[in-house]
A and B are shown apart, each in its own frame.
Chain A
Amino acid sequence: MLNVRWGYLALFVFLVLVQVLVLNNIHLGGYMNPQLYVFLVLLLPLNIPGLLLLSVAFVLGLIIDMFSDSLAIHAGATVFMAFCRPTVIRLVTGQFVAEDPERPSFSSFGTFSMIFYVIALVLAHHAVLFFLEVFRFSEVPHTLIRILLNTGFTALFVLLAFIFSDRPAGKKAR
């Protein structure tokens, strides 16, 4: 258990560094910018207490904000996403939770459910993120396009991260 916790802490630091130093400098086609750091919130164990989930999301978002001069829009978006997470998980797994899977993964959810899970939560995150950022209603169509494009881009990164993290982390857990 302790090992798992350190693992998450290391991942936290790693994701913040990758986001701030590398991904924030990527902008495809002018304004597409992957927000890979949400991967951490998606990866947290299924049985994590709700309060801890929200707190981790808030702190993570706030640190990203600190580095990208965006006040607290990432914090707001990540907290909203964490708030939606239990509902989406219930939606995806149905009433019964498969044999207590430790954390969301392709093997515990199934491919289709996993893709839905990632896209739904990334969309929730980006919707709040971009509307908080713009905060005016005159630019709604433009903002919607940004949300959709960026959701696709981020979801792609996150799904890739899930594919790569599936095997080694599974070994560690056993």
Chain B
Amino acid sequence: MRNLYRFILKYQFFFLFLFLEAVAIMLVFQHQQYQRTFYLHSANAISGRLLHMSNGVTSFLLLRQANRQLVEENTLLLNRQMENFMITDQQQFVARDSLYQARYTYQHARVINNSVTRRNNYMTLNKGSRHGIAPDMGVLLTNGVAGIVKDVTKNFSSVMSLLHSDMQLSVMLKRNGHIGSLRWEGRDYRLASVEYIPAHASLHLGDTIVTSGYSTIFPPGIFIGTLTDWEVRRGETFITATVELALDFNKLSYVYLVNNLMKEEQDGLELPLHSN
């Protein structure tokens, strides 16, 4: 026992190194599991507040762009208002509650921390459980999907960016409805690739990619980007194509959070099937 003690004391530098490195690697592996329980993310009180302050400065610098974007979105929404449409056929607008049930609700939040340079990127939003944010809510803008909420604290939430190796998004070619799976390869944050497009699908340069709505998180039809490149290999059943993302991840300031009110119901139906 004494010898063991002396041995450890003699190589204390090495043992402490092993111990600390093991702790670090364990923490990294925790992330493999779905939820991160440890308070090591930028949504905790100290770092959240500091990043919030720093964002106060940077968001001021982005005001011009944010304003332009808001105006554009307002115009879009104004164009969709009921008053703008002439009612031609009364029967088309009979509203019945059983037909129209709310499915998605939206709210907005500000991005106070964001990265695009790492292989696995996260962002932090300035709203948390107090504002009704919950894990698995979608984060998006009108021109693209930004990520999925992973963790919430009282005032902040931490979002797994689309630019993350664990992120897969079900997408659709708008023109012909073929389904694929969007993944970020880790190089340029403006480009992503769509895998598993069937080989018989006809592709055109500039084809629009939208969300398919097969996931329970994002509503269908959100614009993602346009096709720029693909390669058809002989004998392969699937095509992998490159998409230019419409959303500029380097300039995010305000985002929308979408909550699927029927998510639980749909998951409850589907998950038992997957687990078998």
Binding site for B on A (CB under 8 A): 20-21, 24-25, 27, 30-33, 50-51, 54-55, 57-58, 61-62, 65-73, 75-76, 79-80, 82-83, 86, 130, 132-136, 139, 142
Contact = CB atoms under 8 A, between A and B. Distances in A.
B36 to A, nearest CB: 7
Query: Dominant SS at the A interface?
Result: helix
A79 B20 contact: yes
B120 interface: yes
Interface in B87-116: 113, 115-116
Contact of A67 (B20, B51, B118): B51
Q: How large is the interface on B (under 10, 10 to 19, 20 to 34, 35 or more residues)?
A: 35 or more
Given A50-B16, A61-B24, A66 B117 contact: no
B25 A69 contact: no
Interface string B45-89: 011001100100010000000000000000000000000000000
A15 to B, nearest CB: 15
A70 B21 contact: no
B28 A132 contact: yes
B167 interface: no
30 contacts: A20-B51, A21-B50, A27-B116, A30-B188, A33-B118, A50-B12, A51-B16, A58-B23, A58-B24, A65-B40, A66-B41, A67-B113, A68-B42, A68-B115, A69-B115, A69-B158, A71-B36, A71-B40, A72-B25, A72-B27, A72-B28, A75-B24, A79-B24, A83-B13, A83-B14, A132-B24, A133-B120, A134-B186, A139-B186, A142-B186
Given A50-B16, A66-B47, A76-B21, 16 more contacts: A20-B51, A31-B117, A54-B16, A55-B16, A62-B40, A66-B46, A67-B113, A69-B41, A71-B27, A71-B31, A72-B27, A76-B28, A80-B21, A134-B186, A135-B28, A139-B119
